[in-house]
Structure 1
């Protein structure tokens, strides 16, 4: 994943198609505007506080000048009032500056946290709403990056970056204005010195932009390599590839180190240049003002104030330059987040949903044609009727289209042509809630979430009672297993359920499906990764689960298929054979050959 700002003529967004730069900016600004609208009052209040804080700060040197040129002479004449007044006003201004600066930090934090809370919720909800097609092409690492590093980049900008930029800009304007009003000649010297400062800042912006892109690219490569290695650590260790993988990672880490080192060098040149320009400017103001003091053309207090203003002027310029890095990072993050939120589900909710409250489970594929994305057709033309209560098994070679049938039935995808119907209603018109209750899929990977066994069984019905959860577990034969765990149904399982064996996790997923009580159950290779003891346990639970409901079973193991009412042999997306297991064995076709191979494997010692 490479995070860069939009190119001049367009943006290649890894979250979507290539878009012109102005469209990317418009989309990002629209997102930012929608986030800021609810907190607009607090944002304006923050802006007013920033202005107040900078006015209080910029008053200091002018009050020093008044104290030296007005208060001290009055004190020598025996009148301490003017000096005490100036001192009191100075103390009040300093106190106000401190209070307002602290208020700025708090108000900015409230605004930024409100915005980030809104955005984080939007990203999570929208990502869940997107279709399976999106999640199959959009890696989990990129989604994690949106919720972590991209939101963190926006947090850094909103928490302090925007207020720092505003405060720095106002400080420079107020400082220059105050000095010009106090002594226009000293102000002219300061304004002349702004030119090399701006040139240096522009140089820094261009160089830092290039370094930022290089650093972000290098960081992304390191993260991707790390995630891939840790995800596939079993394969790495199984093939003893630790040294080679570490060598590749070390090379990527060295690129990242070199990019950061160059970025630090650029920052060093910028900081050093600003210090040099600031010191030369200070010397020029002091020299010109000092000569005028000697000639009597300038008061000493004004000279002191001019020096103080000159010292303060270039510090905000450095902050503006440093803000550019945070701005680039936040801009890139906002572009990616807006692209993610602009994604539309390829399986949209129906405009006029049809309620199917008590589905019978009658399934039809009417002239279904389907292909993934813009690819070739996986199912050229499929007509299929599965009566309510029938168990249908799909067998065939890998890539024949079996899992595609399951995904269409669960409405993870919509067909290009034709329709998939439940009780005569096109799935595209079925109310989404009713569809999720009516059709449940159990896959090869029995995914368990961190939490208790009970919570995992009750995933489809969180409001189920303990008795109902236990009844579901008993129905598929997993109750005794659960009770053997340390805390029974309250036993926690680690992420992905790694404290349980594959067969145990599959039984828990069967209990989950049983409790959900769907009219149509889709089993996609649910027993393919089990050993023989585990398979037997799961097969017993599977037979209990299938009673009284329509089932579409995809399996390579014929031990699962032989219990089906009907078998379809699928080849190249078409139905090659259709009949009961016994009929197809007797017919001597493809299924008979598979059955013979299976019988031979059982006889092999």
Structure 2
């Protein structure tokens, strides 16, 4: 990775993680919802029990219809035993056994009143079961959404505790994908799997009990489904898990590429790289397609496989049940109920198998979010922080060493004192460590050795909030959020009055161009603040720093995007602002730092020269060479005219 902020981009890992630990950790996020989950289970139990009783009771209606139909075919006045004896006398023992098992009333037809009563009971059971199921879903939805709400809160809090070095090695689009897409996928997974998983497990248990009550023999046949389900799900899940991890990793990579191309779309057009960007998108999109297709296809095999197993069991139950009815071992209504139970038994098993698809996708997303939550955080603030007795702005570097990469030293044994009210300019070639120096002041990075003190207190002994509240920083890259100009300026000090805000705007010449806008300070900026020029955006960021009224001011190429006249006005305003404040000014245009109290020249992380503008010019060292490179005398016209080859004089008119 490159040294410095945004110096490198990290690629998302595609290595498959352990499914079990990640799933267990995801489930542990539900612990705060224990009470609600108990209610979910109780409501689910009642709903499933009522639903499971339905087929058994409905089987009684079938028995009433079938037995009434048979009774109508028998001679009125005869007893069931006489009918049975007659069938045995004719050698129809199997029919005799079937009639013996029935509750017949020879000569009587179907008792429709009794059938209606049974159907009313079944209808009532299903309505109550549906109500309990709705209540379960309502409570469960709250459990899921609160769990995901807390997860989002944890991720947001984590982002504020991560060091700047983490963001240096993570693509913005990849990070956004974890915070948005992956968490949304977790929410969907929890919502669907928790409801189906609980209902399916309860249904399997309830149906299994009822099947054993009706016929242990048929129940044993149905149990064959369970080991087959486990084997099929396990084999397919192992193959699809890696593909789901790759799918969400590729999603993050594609999002990063799209975000990068969109944010730099102007440069893409300027340099004619639309075809190259499109080809790169096609490659990433193709990789995501392959990973997604493979994951969905492999995991999608589970449901058809389970349906096939369920159909085989259904056929076996129908055949064996029919033989048992013919033999009088079981009633027709019980066989009908058992067939319904077999369907209810295989359906939740199929759902459990198909849930492996969604569950693996959700756990793959959870792993990526947990990676973010497990990232190393900033060094915690001291338990008993110190605060400077007076906010004078005296900064001292004492033998400071720092590097982004241990193999590549950057700043070594740097010592420097910035007195209160002193203006210090930092100059040097790109990569010399100028921005790094001010980042160390802000404690965006931790020192390798040495220390930095603010008003006599080691900055590591202060809280970061206390330290940064004394700092005002304006960067070369402006940052404005979607909102009004007034809100963007007030971001520097939310409790500032309108009068103080206007004073800061006038001091930085923001008021001059804001007055020309139709809505003035209430003008709303879009996400990229594209309705302002680069110079106007930078002026607003400077006004924001002015309003913060810091004791230490850091300007990192803060005037690079304004015109020369505005820059002169800003220099005058900054001179007033820097009074009684320590200021660090990073500038490449040396004309802007002539009046600095101290100019520091850095090369390769080391201070090679320091002094005033006049002293450094007189020394004739590195600063003098930089100055001469910018303000050298014009080249003589004769020297600038290229020599014309003699053979081409006729073409240039030189011969005449």
| Residue of structure 2 in register with 1:192 after alignment | 224
Summarize deviations over 1:71-122 as a string: whole Å, max 9, x none: 8658958977754553333122201221122112211110111111111112
How much is the aligned-residue C-alpha RMSD, in angstroms? 2.7
Contact 2:402–2:412 under 8 Å retained in 1: yes
Which of these residues, 33, 53, 56, is aligned with residue 59 of structure 1? 53
**Aligned-partner SS, 2:601:** strand
Summarize deviations over 1:382-440 as a string: whole Å, max 9, x none: 11111100000011112222112111111212222111111111111124333122112
* 1:497 alignment partner, SS class: coil
Aligned partners of 1:489, 1:400: CA distance in 2, in Å?
39
Between 341-350 and 558-567, the greater mean CA deviation after superposition: 341-350
Note the C-alpha offset of 1:459: 0.7
C-alpha distance 557-315 of structure 1, shift in aligned 2 (>3 A): same
Where do residues 265-280 of structure 1 align in structure 2 (5 Å cutoff)? 265-266=297-298, 269-280=301-312
> In structure 2, how many angstroms separate the alpha carbons of the residues matched to 1:103 and 1:357?
61
Q: Can you give the 5+ residue segments of structure 2 that lack an aligned partner in the other structure?
A: 1-10, 69-102, 638-656
* Aligned equivalent of 1:212, options 231, 237, 244: 244
Provide the rounded CA distance (Å) in 2 between the counterparts of 1:602 and 1:537. 27
SS class of match (1:109): helix
- More divergent stretch after superposition (303-312 vs 323-332): 323-332
Report if the CA contact (8 A) 2:300-2:354 is conserved.
no
Note the alpha carbon deviations across 1:258-294, whole angstroms, 9 max, x for none. 4444445445543333333222221211111112212
Contact 1:347 1:412 in 2 (8 A): no
Determine which of 514, 522, 528 is the counterpart of 2:560. Answer: 528
Per the TM alignment, residue 495 of structure 1 is displaced from its structure 2 partner at its CA by 1.9
Aligned to 2:507: 475
Change (3 A) 1:192 1:230: same
- CA 1:405–1:152 in 2, change beyond 3 Å: closer, same or farther? same
Q: Distance in 2 between matches of 1:338 and 1:213?
A: 13
1: CA distance between counterparts of 2:611 and 2:211?
94
Tell me the residue number matched to 1:312.
Answer: 344
Offset at 1:139?
Answer: 2.8
Equivalent-residue separation in structure 2 for 1:488 and 1:145 (angstroms): 36
Moved more, 134-143 or 260-269: 260-269
CA distance in 1, matches of 2:198, 2:526: 47
Question: Is 2:192 the partner of 1:160?
Answer: yes
- 1:371 and 1:58 map into 2 onto residues whose CA distance is 68
Provide Cα deviations, 1:143-176, integer angstroms capped at 9, x if missing partner.
3122211211220122121121121122122222
Q: Does 1:511 pair with 2:548? A: no
Match of 1:400 in 2: 432
Q: What is the match of residue 493 of structure 2?
A: 461
Match of 1:38 in 2: 32
Task: Give the count of matched residue pairs.
Answer: 589
The one-character-per-residue Cα deviations of 1:499-531 (angstroms, maximum 9, x if unpaired) are 222221111111111111001101112233555
- Contact map agreement 2:306 2:353 (CA 8 A) in 1: no
**Shift in alpha-carbon separation, 1:3–1:558, aligned structure 2, 3 A:** closer
| Aligned equivalent of 2:394 | 362
Bigger Rg, structure 1 or 2: 2
Tell me what 1:442 maps to: 474
Q: Map of 1:346-425 to 2, 5 A cutoff?
A: 346-356=378-388, 358-372=390-404, 374-425=406-457
1:366 aligned counterpart, secondary structure:
strand
Counterpart in the other structure of 1:289:
321
Structure 1 residue corresponding to 2:357, chosen from 320, 325, 335: 325
Query: 1:300 is matched with which residue?
Result: 332
Q: Tell me which moved more, 581-590 or 257-266.
A: 257-266
Gaps of 5+ in 1: 9-20
